[in-house]
Structure 1
Amino acid sequence: MRSSAFRAALGLAAAVALSGGGLAAAAPALAADDAPLTVAITGENRVDLSLQGDNGDATEPQVTLRLAAPGSDEPGDDGVIPVVHQGDYKIKIDATGLKGVAKVKLPCEASGLTAECAGYEINAGEDYNRLGGIRLDVNSESAAGDFGSIKVTGEGEGVDFTPLTTDVLVGGPEFLGHKLAEPKGFKAGDTYEAPVGFRNVGGMAADGAVLRFHGSRGLSFPDSYGNCAYKATTDGPLLRRGTDAICTFPGTYEAGKAYALAEPLKVKTADFALYDIVNYGFSAVAPAKAKALLDGDGYTPGTGAPLTLKEATGTAPADYTRYAELDLPSTTTYDLVLTGASAKGAAGSTVKAEIGFRNDGPGWLSALRSGGEPIAFTVEVPEGATVTKAADRCNSTTIEEGVKGYLCWVSTPLLEDAELTFPFELRIDKVVKGAKGKVALPTWENPNEPEQSNNTAWIVLNGTDDGQSAGGSSDGGASASPSPSAGGDTSGSSGTSGNSGSSGGDSGDQGSGSGGGLALTGAGGMLLIGGIAVVVLGLGAAVVLVMRRRAA
């Protein structure tokens, strides 16, 4: 039985030895003449095992072993990855250094804590030379500060293998973040004072700590601290816009103790904010390495006094979580509006109809949890008419029994002032006075959109009162045309931008509303708005499912 002093000394040595990390060496250069081919054995150099038992999916390895050979992973003109070595070789895995430290599952021909992988061909590059994975877990013998290594070597005629060493530390410093909760009555425009802090649930003290926090597009951080650096992403895909920050803290943070910022972290919400995400996490990083994190990669140093940590009292282990995050505010509303179109024409003529879709705010539809799932609405074809050209991102479908039409998609995130048009062309086969086709979003109880009377509009052909019978605004109404011609720019988008030219989409192109998800046909679409999902069943009814999930 190892003594506690031995464990402590070994743990300290392990912490020093594991100050670096990352992947093994990159692929070497090509061999010259008859020199052996140099091939690197790659994989993780370091694995930290938690005594809390949260070491990832038990079926997934923490170390994936590969062979990195000279040359490219890309196939040649013949579609084949070149073979750079032929001949028997063996890769030997020795995990005996983890006896009494951790539970080990090895690939290939394994016997206890050793294994051997045999092969004959080695391809260029690394992707196609996978040997297998190593899974590590704590067991009844594991204790804080236990340390060991896995040695991976290789041998073969005409090939020189660069070995790999994977160091394993059990029960090192491990930080859980203080939970966050939305205050009662919180609304857009308010500032949230986040109780940011951590508890060291690992088995060893940490020499230094690093805080990383993030706020999505509708959130900002009004304070600037001298020991922090900030990066604002204001362009590109909406899903990735927001502010990131890194703060460093010197000092010793003891195992089993909790710490908190000396003052709450202020999070300012924009007037349009709705289900925006703030999250943070602490990690144990030595001061010398932490300082390097503040430099480069687009971060700008803070200008104020440093942010500090203090020991927290009166907290309980249940107050801390591995994923410290919050969606706020949750009460902002938005107003989706559909506008119809009307036209007159003789039998045989083709008319244009532009369906309008806009968000009158004040909130945006972030859809951050659903990853940009689109919003769907249906378009019925008026009696006596045939659609000769539908708007992009609109697909023919059966709306309900006996009713043909189209299912149209609007990408999310959707800006607070988004405005789109969906141009259709219809041939009037038979003049039917006041023929109407319904344009509608699903009807469902949604506290973030209390006004839903404008979620329905109409396409009216040969009506007596074009403006009113179309429903909604008659702006951009239909017009007769003797021949099929485009009713607007329909290239590569789910609709054409209207007055504001702003829509959603993970593509970052706010003028098209395209991007983020595939165009779907038929029933079974899903509408996700601000943490609530609407599953469209047969496109005639909607089932509301409240979704709350842990962040990735």
Structure 2
Amino acid sequence: MNSLAAVRRSISAFALAALAAGALAGPARAEEEPLPVSVTGPDSVNLSLHPEPGEPGEPGEPQIELGLRAPGEPVPDENGVTYPIHQGEYTVTVDASSLAGVAAVNFSRLGGWQGCSVEGLVATCRGYEIYAGRDYNDLGGIRLDVTDESAAGEVGSIEVTAAGEGLAFTGHTVDVLVGGPELQNKQLAEPEGFKAGDTFQAPLGFRNVGGLGGKGVVLRVSGTRGLSLPGTFGNCWYDPRDPADLRGWSTALCVFDSEFAAGAAYGLSTPFPIGTAGFALYDSMSYSFSAVPADQVADLLAEGDYRAGSGPDLELVRLPDADPAGYTRYAEMDFPTKNTFDLDLTGERLRARKGQTVPVDIGFANHGPAWLALLRSGGEPISFWVDLPPGTTATTAPEACRAAGWEGAEGDYLCNIDTPILEDASLTFTFALRVDEVIRNATGRAFFTYTMPNEGNPANDSGAIVLNPRGRP
């Protein structure tokens, strides 16, 4: 081999090795340009004087979730693997020293499985990999609790800083207030005799159980498909439900630039109307009052397609004799409860010869007047059973039906109907049945195994499937 060829081969081998090493190391960045990374978390926490009880001996859920955000978003490779954009040790310091005597601090959820070292009210966490975006860069959570020393109006902060070679960190501060405004909402009940089509004049209100008063309140009212929120108040904005989204909600935001006192209860100057459609049944309504300064209202309105209402403004009125037991953190109700639907299953009568395969249609319909939403159960399907006529075999079955050969099955096939089911819904389930033996008046059926609550006509909850009926088909 001549020396020039040997040199060229050596150079080529070196270049290939360098390329491979570069590929394994990931994208290269100039050393003089450190990767910018910011610490993320809430800007503030209002520490309740009335915390919800947790499991005995266990800390409650963290109010503060921390993370890191790096440039870009994580993109998996062709194998679905997402790689970090930085590898190298870094340190995150969480300093809650200013909360001494203000609140108890629990760092046990920080740092994931490897945890963080803690000295007093300072936690030090170490990491090695940073990914693009925020999703893969969780730091964990911090739980705060009031103590016997905590007093309404006390403040402190948690300072989060970080450092690492080749990284330019932006820290984060979480301001903590003890006993700030905390609004609980008046519990509601369906009026006696209320029915679908009526309008509920809702007596909405709140009680401030926090240790401090404030200024600025936002009311949010939401309702599902069978409920409507008439746009009549000048200080309210309305975002209607997308008609194509059967599980969607209509929402109203009402803004009050009013002062409210600690320990006081307030109601509206006039009840808030919530209309119900003729098909409404167990539709969900929820509402909440929140202490929101006027300069933050624009951010809330930007979250939806809100349109300003018209007419007079709603106002807040202080209620001097409100019963504290009548208020709750989460106010919601399902109504109207008195409507009915009519689920109808129909079969088919037909003739067929031995060896012939025939389509058999099972019909399902809801004759209303109500829809069947099952919103509280997450829109779970309802089911009916199918018994095939004797002497037949199903060669094909609808996609929504499966053969039920398991122990305890109540029929040959179990069929599912997705919810919500509209007030005028109709579906067809087609089986292909092969006639193995001709049996006169061979009868199967489609049926519900139980009568659902609010079923207005149980008599048509089953339908016969008859092959080769006696007499005329």
Q: TM-score surpassing 0.5?
A: yes
1:95 aligns with 2:96: yes
1:431 aligns with 2:438: yes
Greater alpha carbon shift after TM alignment, 254-263 vs 219-228? 219-228
1:66 aligns with 2:73: no
For residue 115 of structure 1, give the secondary structure of its aligned residue in structure 2: strand
1:466-505 equivalence runs, <5 A:
none
1:439 and 1:307 mapped to 2: Cα distance? Answer: 54
1:243 aligns with 2:286: no
Alignment CA distance shift 1:287-1:43 (3 Å):
closer
Which of 288, 292, 306 matches 1:281?
Answer: 288
Alignment CA distance shift 1:215-1:132 (3 Å):
closer
1:330-369 equivalence runs, <5 A:
330-369=337-376
2:318 and 2:278 mapped to 1: Cα distance? Answer: 35
1:288 and 1:234 mapped to 2: Cα distance? Answer: 28
Number of matched residues? 436
Which of 47, 54, 64 matches 2:52?
Answer: 54
Give how far 1:73 is off.
1.6
Partners of 1:211 and 1:246 within 8 A in 2: yes
What CA deviation, in whole Å up to 9, does each residue of 1:142-168 have, x standing for no partner?
Answer: 211111111111122222221111111
Give how far 1:33 is off.
4.9
Partners of 1:343 and 1:466 within 8 A in 2: no
CA RMSD, 1 decimal: 2.1
Map of 1:226 onto structure 2: 234
Partners of 1:248 and 1:291 within 8 A in 2: no
AA partner of residue 188 (structure 1)? A
Give how far 1:404 is off.
5.4
What CA deviation, in whole Å up to 9, does each residue of 1:378-400 have, x standing for no partner?
Answer: 00111111101111211110387
1:419 aligns with 2:420: no
1:299 aligns with 2:306: yes
2:396 and 2:85 mapped to 1: Cα distance? Answer: 54
What CA deviation, in whole Å up to 9, does each residue of 1:464-495 have, x standing for no partner?
Answer: 2566xxxxxxxxxxxxxxxxxxxxxxxxxxxx
1:388 aligns with 2:395: yes
Map of 2:319 onto structure 1: 312
Map of 1:139 onto structure 2: 147
Partners of 1:215 and 1:279 within 8 A in 2: yes
1:105-254 equivalence runs, <5 A:
105-106=106-107, 107=110, 108-222=116-230, 224-240=232-248, 242-254=249-261
AA partner of residue 449 (structure 1)? E
- Could you tell me which runs of 5 or more consecutive residues in structure 1 were left unpaired when the two chains were aligned: 1-29, 468-552
Partners of 1:239 and 1:371 within 8 A in 2: no
1:31 and 1:406 mapped to 2: Cα distance? Answer: 61
What CA deviation, in whole Å up to 9, does each residue of 1:206-241 have, x standing for no partner?
Answer: 21111110121111133511100111114233111x
Give how far 1:84 is off.
2.5
Map of 1:461 onto structure 2: 467
Partners of 2:362 and 2:428 within 8 A in 1: yes
1:39 and 1:398 mapped to 2: Cα distance? Answer: 57
1:40 and 1:296 mapped to 2: Cα distance? Answer: 24
Give how far 1:403 is off.
7.0
Give how far 1:78 is off.
4.1
Alignment CA distance shift 1:369-1:227 (3 Å):
same
For residue 97 of structure 1, give the secondary structure of its aligned residue in structure 2: helix
Q: Which structure has the larger Rg?
A: 2
1:87 and 1:31 mapped to 2: Cα distance? Answer: 13
Map of 2:12 onto structure 1: none
Alignment CA distance shift 1:120-1:294 (3 Å):
closer
Give how far 1:111 is off.
2.2
Partners of 1:399 and 1:405 within 8 A in 2: no
Partners of 2:31 and 2:166 within 8 A in 1: no
Partners of 1:228 and 1:294 within 8 A in 2: no
Alignment CA distance shift 1:304-1:403 (3 Å):
closer
Give how far 1:315 is off.
1.5
1:509-548 equivalence runs, <5 A:
none
Map of 2:15 onto structure 1: none
Alignment CA distance shift 1:42-1:447 (3 Å):
closer
Alignment CA distance shift 1:60-1:294 (3 Å):
closer
Map of 1:542 onto structure 2: none
Give how far 1:68 is off.
2.0
Greater alpha carbon shift after TM alignment, 72-81 vs 419-428? 72-81
2:79 and 2:336 mapped to 1: Cα distance? Answer: 55
2:247 and 2:392 mapped to 1: Cα distance? Answer: 40
1:379 aligns with 2:379: no
2:276 and 2:409 mapped to 1: Cα distance? Answer: 47
Map of 1:477 onto structure 2: none
Give how far 1:285 is off.
1.1
Alignment CA distance shift 1:292-1:37 (3 Å):
closer
For residue 377 of structure 2, give the secondary structure of its aligned residue in structure 1: coil
Give how far 1:120 is off.
2.6
AA partner of residue 45 (structure 1)? D
Which of 36, 39, 55 matches 1:38?
Answer: 36
Over the matched positions of the two proteins, sequence identity in percent amounts to 49
Alignment CA distance shift 1:389-1:94 (3 Å):
same
For residue 176 of structure 2, give the secondary structure of its aligned residue in structure 1: strand
1:250 and 1:436 mapped to 2: Cα distance? Answer: 70
1:451 aligns with 2:452: no
AA partner of residue 166 (structure 1)? V
1:73 and 1:206 mapped to 2: Cα distance? Answer: 42
1:130 and 1:327 mapped to 2: Cα distance? Answer: 37
AA partner of residue 205 (structure 1)? G
- Could you tell me which runs of 5 or more consecutive residues in structure 2 were left unpaired when the two chains were aligned: 1-27, 111-115
AA partner of residue 376 (structure 1)? S
1:261 aligns with 2:262: no
What CA deviation, in whole Å up to 9, does each residue of 1:63-105 have, x standing for no partner?
Answer: 2222222343221234332233233221111111111111111
Alignment CA distance shift 1:147-1:222 (3 Å):
same
For residue 318 of structure 1, give the secondary structure of its aligned residue in structure 2: helix
1:45 and 1:221 mapped to 2: Cα distance? Answer: 33
Alignment CA distance shift 1:408-1:48 (3 Å):
same
TM-score (normalised: structure 2): 0.87
2:159 and 2:254 mapped to 1: Cα distance? Answer: 36
Alignment CA distance shift 1:123-1:266 (3 Å):
closer
TM-score (normalised: structure 1): 0.75
Partners of 2:153 and 2:212 within 8 A in 1: yes
